[in-house]
Amino acid sequence: MIADPPTSGMRLGVGFDAGRARTRTEAWKTTIGTKPVPARFALLPEGKKRWDRMGLSAMLQISLVTFFVVMPIFFPERIDQLKYSVVPLFMQ
């Protein structure tokens, strides 16, 4: 079987038969430590509603949309100037 240890006497220290002891501790255990830390599992308080900011944002968006819709009605001659003309790049 592939996972069987090699039968030769030559060991390079790699692979399944590394010969190392498996006494390593996992990294997260050393990072956390052994000191107990108090934890509070209560819910966060409810935030207050900010209707003034929502209203300000809605009014700003409505005014911008109204501005862009009304501009062509008041200044239609500006829209006529946006017509493109075709210029040939080479003559045949």
Tens of pLDDT, residues 46-60:
888 899 999 999 999
Tens of pLDDT, residues 10-38:
556 566 655 555 556 677 777 777 777 78
8 A C-beta contact, residue 5 and residue 16: yes
* DSSP three-state, residue 16: coil
Residue 74 has pLDDT above 80, yes or no: yes
8 A C-beta contact, residue 17 and residue 6: yes
- List Cβ<8 Å contacts ≥24 apart for 50-57: none
